[in-house]
Structures are given as structure tokens and as C-alpha cells.
Structure 1
Amino acid sequence: MITIRKATVNDVKQLAIVSKKAFFTPHQHAIPKEIMDNYLKESFSEENLTKEVTQENYEYHLIFYKDELAGFSKVILNTPNEHLKIQNVTKMERLYLVEEFYGLGLGKKLFDYNLDLIKNNNQKGIWLYVWIKNYRALKFYEKVGFKKIALYDFPISATETRPNDVLFLDLS
């Protein structure tokens, strides 16, 4: 059984654990351990996640498979991008699954859930960053209709960045 629901403050502890696992898997061989540890600690701390889960324009949704948290999404409504001329666009900042849930169609279900949410909020498109060597994610986004519009150096520490594609899905 698959369920999707909005995250609350009560989910933060579990969300922090799943966030770290899901980010680590595709990036583990590309980011030095010390930098990875710091990024995970800062980006997915319970304090940071609590702030974001309670922020008005942030939408966190959890996907469960057989009552186990399999992943989550984070979208930020009405977030412009410098490479887009249109307004009323959403940034999809995270669409993460824990590796043991790959191949079950959960990512597509969670994406479709977010797509409905975004359309219901009168957004004209979705943009996101994806690491250029995250081939699994790139293939997924291409399959659902995203197009590359730019490159972006994603900061993972004060001294290091990773090249990311900026992708866009036009909904207008």
C-alpha cells in the first residue's frame, strides 16, 4: 500500500534520517567524507527541517510504502529562476527516495502528486537542479518531460561546488 501525506513537525525526526540516507546514496562517491558529513548535518538537521516544514510556501510530502517512510518531496511555490522569463513557477528542491524503495514506481507517484499540487496552485512550470552525474534522476526527469535550460554550480560547502543541470517543465 502506498500513501502520501503532508509532513508535520511530528515527522521531522524520521524525515531527517530518510533525508540523509536518500542524499547519501547518489553522491557518496563524489563528495569527500568530511564535506558530505557537514552537508548532511547542516542541510538535514532537525532544526532546519522543522523551520522548513512550518514555512508557508514550502510543501513537504512524505511517501510511505507498506507503512514505512520511503521518501519525500519538497517544493517551494512561486520561486522564480533567473533563467526563466515566466513567473508563477515552482522550485522542486527535493524528490528523494531511500535506495531500498527504488524500482517500485514511488518516485513517479510522488512526482505526480506534486504535479497536481503545483497545477492546483496555478503554477506555470517546475524547475529544479540535478547533479550532472545523477544519471538515474536525469533519466527520470527527462522521461516526465523536463528540459535542460542552464548549468548551475551547486554549493556543497564554503569551498566546493558540484555542476548541476537546471531543468524546467513547462505547464503553461
Structure 2
Amino acid sequence: MTIRKATIEDCELIATIGKTTFLETYLVNTPKAAVEAFIEKAFAMDTLTKELRNPAIHYYIIYHSTKVAGYSKIELNIPNQNIDAAQITKLDRFYVLKEFHGQNVGAQLFNHTIVASKKLQQHGIWLYVWIENKRAINFYTKNNFKVVGYYDFVLSETRSNPNDVLYLEY
């Protein structure tokens, strides 16, 4: 497996992976219109281009052999009201395509993301995770994240999903 930092040229690739994994996760019991409204905004080319130009936002793409398997997105120095610490990273996206589940892709990408955050002088990492996403919750708690709060994640004007706030100090 190889992991590299994403560039502006990766916008379309990031959008494709993001849309695919978001649909796989949320369409299970979220109205399609709400999921599509979020996707349209979050994975728009202008949004991704702006993020990839921001020095405080880092995307990392993982390949399994020669196939793209997923990506992570971190934002540096993003505080959270539930965490009393400075210089912490928000893990904003952590997406692994379903066909690569169970192949150690998530663990490798996670470890790379944590090392990158530490190298950037961060002292912890936090994220929101949908309370229905048991696979993700198990992954994060197995990697020593602790539930520190609750967040109502707004998908669209008519839909929000309950999320836990998880935190890992280092």
C-alpha cells in the first residue's frame, strides 16, 4: 500500500470516493434527498479546490496495489467545545471504499494520518461519527478514541443525524 498527499489535480478523484462512501454509509436509513444535498455541497469542485489550496487542510490518498482505496482529510488547529486542549486536529473525513474493508487499508491510512498530524505539531485529533455507524465507532474506539460529547450533524435543511464527538490525545 502507498499513501500520498493529495494535490489540486486530485479533486475529481476525492469527489468520486467521497460521494461513493457517503452514499454507502448514509443511504441505509437517511432520505436520499438529504444525502444528495450534502454531497452536492461537500464534494463540489470549487469546495475541494479551495480546501486543497488551504495550508491548514491536508488530504491523504491511499492505494491498495494500484487501485485507489480511500482518503483522509485533516484540518489543523480546529478547536472543539468538548475538548480542553490547544493545537488539535479535526479528522474531517476518513473514507475507505467498501471493497477494501478488512484488508488493513483503514489501519494504514489511520496510522499515516496520526503521524502526519503529530509532525504538524498537533497534540490530539477529534472527529464526529454518526451514532449509527457501528463499524466506524468500533474502529475508532479500538484505536483509543474516547467519546467526549455529542453533535447534531446537519445534512440538509430538513435532516440532521446524531453524532458522537470522539477524541484521541497524544
- Superposed CA deviations along residues 120-172 of structure 1, whole A, max 9, x for unmatched, are 1221111100000100000000000000001100000123210000000011x
CA distance in 2, matches of 1:113, 1:28: 29
| Aligned twin of 1:12 | 11
| Aligned twin of 2:103 | 104
Matched, 1:74 2:73: yes
- Residue 94 of structure 1: how far off its partner (Å): 0.7
TM-score w.r.t. length of structure 1: 0.96
Structure 1 counterpart SS, 2:38: helix
Structure 2 counterpart SS, 1:156: strand
Sequence identity, in percent?
39
Structure 2 counterpart SS, 1:85: coil
| Aligned twin of 1:117 | 116
Structure 1 counterpart SS, 2:83: coil
CA distance in 1, matches of 2:33, 2:78: 31
Residues 37-116 of structure 1 aligned to structure 2 (within 5 Å): 37-116=36-115
TM-score w.r.t. length of structure 2: 0.97
Contact 2:130 2:162 in 1 (8 A): yes
CA distance in 2, matches of 1:14, 1:122: 28
CA distance in 2, matches of 1:29, 1:22: 12
Structure 1 counterpart SS, 2:108: helix
Matched, 1:138 2:100: no
CA distance in 2, matches of 1:33, 1:159: 12
For 2:2, the aligned partner's letter is T
Structure 1 counterpart SS, 2:16: helix
- Runs of 4+ deviating beyond 6 Å: none
- Superposed CA deviations along residues 69-103 of structure 1, whole A, max 9, x for unmatched, are 11000000111111111111100011101111111
CA distance in 1, matches of 2:32, 2:126: 29
CA distance in 1, matches of 2:45, 2:121: 31
Structure 1 counterpart SS, 2:156: coil
Listed as ranges, the gaps of 5+ residues in structure 1 are none
- Superposed CA deviations along residues 1-39 of structure 1, whole A, max 9, x for unmatched, are x11001111111111111100111111122111111111
| Aligned twin of 2:33 | 34
The answer to which of 67-76 and 26-35 deviates more is: 26-35
